[in-house]
């Protein structure tokens, strides 16, 4: 690690002021050095959590010998992050740092001939494409596109590139009324006027340009269309793919507008013909999400991830393959009661590796197309995130509740994995992590539920510890072996809490029946599951049943609000982050109507709709009269999925009831907390509230 980044790490851990070298001073320092950060204790703190390097973007060189990836580091004093690029041999060895600048380098990819590494940088003042030699030398700007771009990729034959750019598809107020230049307003005529954390003033379009020494403009292949590709808010270049012959560009879009866009998840995969400029919908009639197309290396097939039902974001993620000559579609995971994602073709085009979750871990699997057989490749207590093929090996990233993402070389026959990146080795060696234990607990309807129990570091079975019930969001998000920089179980456990994290009803990885039970049953069986989990663990002699807390975000925040009115004095304190409090208001405030239509069952004015009426009857705001427990409410001002008024209503209700309450309002954050200082503030506020009302409870 360079001195600049080492000092950034020290600044976060020990509070030293930051000291950055400029890029000119550090040009010759291209070797990677493990950061020699000295921690003040061997348990997790908010500052330590934010000092971890965050690895991502890995891809393999065309000769399959070298891995390219990026690592982000955060500086508390500057309240910003830095991201630099590295390479690493696929068999492991010494990483090489390629960039060390004041800017962030991202979208790092190999040029198809392997002679250059390309990336996006704002070094010129806007985000443009740069290329450098594989050793990091001789960086050269190769695009000068007005306004900058968001992402790009080469065609396999290197004749063209595609790039993503925001376009304005509708007239703004200043265009409609040029004599009112100081008017600050929007004229809104339909839904989809804001999404996730942005007002929808522009759409992301795909442009295609000839690849040459200086790229200045390309052709908008979606000109005049009032929708985006990739699909917002999370879609990236994984939703766009060049065919191996460079003649076709596949991309994902949800080509709907207004109310219909807000009500639907029906995205499709489109083929754009480079020669004719014609666009064809390849998944027409498939009504749910169709995402992430991947061409087979021989160009004869396309694999993709598909959901069956429109309006259901948590439907089974199915693996489909299309024969491009005949158009025949084959559903390969019909008898596989699990999701499939991160599809990766074998070099011979005869198989597909993918990642799937089962019983709260994410493993690598392999599909053999000829037989249709699916084989599990890896096994352990971890979550795999990505897969790449490099000769006879798989290069993959994985995490656990006790370790952030690192790169591993995986044997595809045995599943054995060898870590090769070691980005956070120095920090991890100094930390004592709490034990993570898997338990199966019987629910009120006599089902078996997997519950993770995380113990404090230096756990002493002769002591009595306070315990926290963790309520998962989603609502259909598995409590797997994820590593979080916010809801970090080791962070909670390091503050001397037993953490109880149940995979309650409504989570994937336990079959479709378990998953789908929650829809239309908010406040029902899944709430009983939560209480079954905490009631079982509190019987342990090392748990103090008189010092229990309950925490959660999103649907977990809803859960905290709901349990506050039904917990029968089990808990001493609640924390609800970005939670739904008033479901009737939520129905009209959220921007993704498909979510509330599916999970709540419909609109609150549909008086004959029994499912919807049951949902609204279970809205947490209808049970505030039962609230009697201190509650911390956290909400982001740019959360447009669950808007800030939901949190404000809950806080106001608690105070009007005379209940101790605190509101942590983060005006610049969305459904997550992404800023460095805001993230550390979140952790401190979280811990202080629980310490006051749970740990110190009498």
Sheet (strand 240-242) strand order: 240-242, 248-253, 268-273, 279-281
Cα angle vertex 455, ends 454, 459, to 5°? Answer: 170
Contacts 24+ apart (CB under 8 A), 611-616: 611/520, 612/520, 614/520, 614/521, 615/520, 615/522, 615/523, 615/583, 616/583, 616/584
458 is catalytic: no
Q: What is the dihedral of CA 267, 585, 690, 74, to 10 degrees?
A: 40
The answer to whether the peptide bond before residue 685 is cis (omega within 30 degrees of 0) is: no
Sign of CA dihedral 578, 579, 580, 581: negative
H, E, C per residue of 653-665:
HHHHCCCCEEEEE
Residues 6+ apart with CB under 8 A from 234: none
CA atoms of 212 and 296, how far apart (whole Å):
27
Which residues is 303 bridged to in the sheet?
294, 321
CA atoms of 212 and 208, how far apart (whole Å):
12
CA atoms of 555 and 518, how far apart (whole Å):
11
CA atoms of 60 and 45, how far apart (whole Å):
35
671 is catalytic: yes
Selected catalytic residue, list 480, 554, 559, 619? 554
CA atoms of 82 and 104, how far apart (whole Å):
6
639 is catalytic: yes
CA atoms of 534 and 528, how far apart (whole Å):
10
Token pair for 14: 């020990």
Cα angle vertex 550, ends 547, 555, to 5°? Answer: 175
For tokens 């609204």, name the residue: 616
Question: Is-contact 162 149, C-beta < 8 A?
Answer: no
Catalogue the active-site residues: 554, 639, 671
């Amino acid at each position: 690690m360079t001195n600049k980044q080492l000092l950034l790490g020290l600044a976060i851990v020990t509070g030293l002021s930051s000291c950055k070298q400029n890029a000119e001073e550090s040009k010759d320092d291209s070797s990677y050095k493990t950061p020699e950060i000295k921690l003040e204790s061997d348990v997790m703190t908010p500052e330590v959590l934010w000092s971890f390097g965050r690895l991502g973007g890995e891809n393999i060189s065309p000769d399959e010998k070298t891995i390219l990836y990026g690592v982000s580091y955060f500086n508390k004093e500057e309240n910003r992050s830095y991201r630099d690029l590295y390479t690493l041999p696929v068999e492991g060895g010494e990483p090489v740092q390629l960039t060390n600048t004041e800017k962030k380098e991202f979208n790092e990819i190999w040029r198809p001939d392997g002679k250059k590494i390309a990336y996006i940088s704002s070094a010129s003042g806007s985000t443009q494409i740069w290329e450098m030699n594989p050793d990091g030398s001789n960086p050269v700007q190769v695009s000068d596109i007005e306004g900058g771009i968001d992402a790009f990729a080469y065609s396999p034959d290197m004749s063209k590139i595609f790039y993503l750019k925001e376009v304005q598809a509708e007239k703004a107020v200043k265009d409609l009324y040029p004599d009112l230049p100081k008017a600050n307003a929007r004229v809104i005529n339909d839904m989809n006027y804001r999404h996730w954390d942005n007002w929808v003033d522009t759409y992301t379009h795909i442009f295609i340009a000839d690849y040459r020494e200086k790229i200045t403009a390309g052709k908008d292949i979606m000109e005049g269309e009032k929708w985006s590709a990739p699909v917002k808010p999370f879609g990236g270049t994984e939703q766009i793919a060049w065919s191996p012959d460079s003649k076709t560009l596949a991309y994902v879009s949800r080509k709907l507008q207004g109310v219909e866009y807000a009500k639907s998840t029906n995205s499709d995969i489109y083929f754009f013909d480079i020669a004719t400029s014609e666009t064809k919908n390849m998944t027409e009639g498939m009504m749910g999400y169709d995402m992430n197309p991947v061409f087979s290396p021989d160009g004869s097939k396309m694999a993709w991830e598909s959901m069956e039902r429109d309006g259901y974001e948590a439907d089974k993620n199915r693996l489909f393959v299309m024969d491009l000559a005949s158009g025949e579609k084959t559903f390969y995971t019909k008898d596989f009661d699990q999701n499939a994602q991160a599809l990766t073709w074998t070099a011979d085009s005869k198989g597909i590796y993918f990642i799937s979750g089962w019983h709260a871990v994410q493993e690598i699997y392999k599909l053999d197309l000829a037989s249709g057989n699916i084989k599990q490749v890896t096994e352990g207590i971890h979550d795999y995130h990505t897969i790449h093929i490099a000769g006879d090996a798989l290069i993959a990233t994985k995490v656990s509740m006790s370790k952030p993402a690192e790169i591993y070389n995986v044997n595809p026959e045995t599943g054995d994995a060898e870590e090769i990146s070691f980005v956070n080795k120095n920090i991890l060696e100094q930390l004592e992590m709490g034990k993570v234990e898997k338990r199966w607990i019987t629910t009120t309807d006599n089902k078996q539920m997997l519950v993770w129990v995380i113990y404090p570091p230096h756990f002493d079975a002769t002591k009595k510890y306070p315990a926290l019930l963790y309520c998962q969001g989603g609502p259909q998000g598995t409590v797997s072996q994820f590593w979080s920089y916010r809801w970090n179980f080791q962070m909670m456990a390091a503050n001397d809490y037993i953490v109880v994290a149940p995979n309650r009803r409504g989570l994937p990885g336990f079959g479709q029946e378990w998953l789908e039970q929650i829809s239309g049953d908010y406040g029902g069986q899944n709430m009983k599951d939560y209480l079954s989990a905490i009631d079982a663990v509190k019987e342990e002699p090392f748990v103090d049943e008189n010092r229990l807390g309950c925490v959660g975000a999103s649907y977990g925040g809803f859960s905290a609000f709901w349990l506050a009115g039904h917990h029968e004095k089990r808990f001493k304190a609640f924390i609800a982050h970005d939670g739904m409090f008033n479901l009737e208001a939520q129905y009209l405030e959220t921007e993704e109507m498909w979510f509330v239509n599916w999970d709540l069952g419909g609109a609150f004015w549909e008086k004959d709709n029994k499912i919807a009426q049951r949902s609204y009857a279970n809205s947490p705001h209808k049970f505030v009269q039962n609230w009697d427990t201190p509650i911390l409410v956290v909400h982001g001002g740019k959360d447009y999925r669950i808007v800030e008024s939901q949190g404000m209503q809950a806080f106001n209700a608690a105070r009007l009831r005379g209940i101790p309450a605190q509101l942590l309002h983060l005006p610049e954050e969305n459904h997550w907390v992404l800023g460095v200082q805001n993230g550390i503030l979140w952790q401190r506020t979280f811990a202080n509230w629980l310490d006051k009302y749970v740990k110190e409870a009498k």
